[in-house]
Each structure stands twice: as structure tokens, then as C-alpha cells.
Structure 1
Amino acid sequence: MSLISPDETINISLSVKDRHVSAEWYGSMLGFKTIYHADDAGWSELQTNTAGVTIGLGEHTKPAPGNCVPVFGIADLDAARQKLEHAKVRFDGETDVVEGMVKTATFYDPDGNALMLAEDLTDAS
């Protein structure tokens, strides 16, 4: 039995130097469609050819090579985080919130692999 119940989406987050160039590459090479570019947040999102799976492009001046963070959609990030913390799961700092967009929290598996929870705030009132 799991502590939390992710929804039926997964976002694979990649660190890139130029989100717009990368989005074009993923579009022309793999047929992925750009969903949006959130320039103020340094974030772009692409729909893959698999239902429920998107690619997120986080823009960084020096992206970590081989950096990939699976991002699991979750209805209530605060409740999920509380349950995971109670089970001694290590988080990377506080929960990040981009008002009207998303709430995220990075945590680690026992081998130190980064994973992320994300709560969609676009429909929240």
C-alpha cells in the first residue's frame, strides 16, 4: 500500500540551456507538441506521444548533464508531502509555489535519485 496516490500523469523534467530551441528539437525529432512556454518561470512543457506523459524543460545557464527528474502529478501536494516526511523521506528544501501555475516539491529515493511532486494550480481558485 502506498502512502500517496499520484494522478495518472507524469512529467519528465529536463534541464536545458534554451527551452525554445529544445522544444523545437523535440518537436522536429520526436514529434512532441509544445503545450506552452512560461517565460517568466523559465519553464516549457511538451506533450509526448504517450497519453499522460509530458516533458518539462527547465532553463538553466549550466544544466546538469544527464539530469532527469520524473515529476508526478498529485491532487494535494501538502498532504502527500506530510505523509512522505512522516515516513522519513528526505526533501530538498521547502515547497516551491508559482501562484496560479504550480506547486512543486523535490524529494529523494533511498539512492539519492531526485523525484518531484507537482500540484496543478491553474484551475485552483
Structure 2
Amino acid sequence: MPIVSLENTITIAMSVRDRHLSANWYCDMLGFTLLHHIDDAGWSELQTKTAGVTLGLGEQAEPTPGNSVPVFGVLDIDTARRDLETAGVKFDGDTETVEGMVSIATFYDPDGNALMLAQDLSQDG
């Protein structure tokens, strides 16, 4: 039985120079659908052709090509993080929260690959 219960969603996060330009490219070239641009957070999200899989574009001045991070949706990030840390999983810093949007926490697999947990806060009332 897994330590953490994941939702049926995954976001593949990538760094890009221009989120709007990149979003248009993914829509035009691969048929993705723009879900939203969140300019205050420097984030854009697109629905891929696979149910439950989105592409997240984070804007950076100098992105590192080939650097993508799978982001796994969870219902309760505090519990998921605590359970993984108890099992010896290493996290990178504190859980970050953008109020009313999302809480995220970066962690690493045994080979040092970065992964993230994300709790959607947009539905909280």
C-alpha cells in the first residue's frame, strides 16, 4: 500500500521564457487547450490530450532546457508531506502556498530527481 494517496491528476511543470508564447505553441502544435494564465504567479496551465494530465508553464528569465518536474495532486499536502518525511523522503525547503490557488512542496526520489506535491486551494471556500 502506498504511503501517500494521490489524486488522479498530474501536472508536468516546465520553465519557459514567455508563457503566453509557449502556451500558443503547445495549443497550435499539439492541440492542447489553455486552461488559464495566472500572471501574478507567472504561471500558465494547459490541458493535454490525456485526461488528468496538464502542462504547467512557469516563467523564468533563463529556463533550463529539459528540466521538467512531475507535480502530483494530493487532497491534503500537510499529511502527504508528513507521511513521506516519516518514510525518509527528502524535501526542498518549506511547503509554499499561494493563497486561494495552490500549496506545493518539492521532494526528491532516490536519484535526486525533483518531484512535487500540489494541493489545489481554488475550490476551498
Partner of residue 121, structure 1: 121
- 1:78 is matched with 78
Distance 2:115 2:93 in 1: 13
Partner Cα distance (1:11, 1:62) in 2: 21
CA-to-aligned-CA distance 1:85-115 (integer Å, 9 cap, x gap): 1111011100010000000000000000000
CA shift at 1:44, angstroms?
A: 0.3
1-structure distance, mates of 2:55, 2:44: 8
Tell me, which stretches of 5 or more residues in structure 1 are unaligned? none
2:66 maps to a residue whose letter is: G
In 1: Cα distance, 2:114 partner to 2:87 partner: 17
- AA at the equivalent of 1:104: I
Q: CA deviation at 1:65?
A: 1.6
Corresponding residue of 1:95: 95
Structure 2: runs of 5 or more not aligned: none
- Which position in structure 2 is the counterpart of 1:69? 69
The Cα of 1:45 is off from its aligned counterpart by 0.2
Counterpart CA distance in 2 for 1:34 and 1:92 is 30
Report the Cα offset of residue 56 of structure 1: 0.2
**What is the distance in 2 between the residues matched to 1:123 and 1:53?**
18
Percent of aligned pairs sharing the same letter: 64
SS in 2 for 1:6: coil
**Partner amino acid for 2:62?**
K
**Which amino acid in the other structure matches residue 43 of structure 2?**
W
Counterpart AA for 2:87: A
Amino acid at match of 1:114: A
Aligned-residue CA RMSD (Å): 0.5
Cα offset, 1:12, TM superposition: 0.4
Q: Which residue of 2 aligns with 1:24?
A: 24
1:64 CA displacement: 1.3
For the pair 1:10 / 2:10, whether they are aligned, the reply is yes
- CA displacement at 1:61 relative to structure 2: 0.5
> Does 2:41 match 1:41?
yes
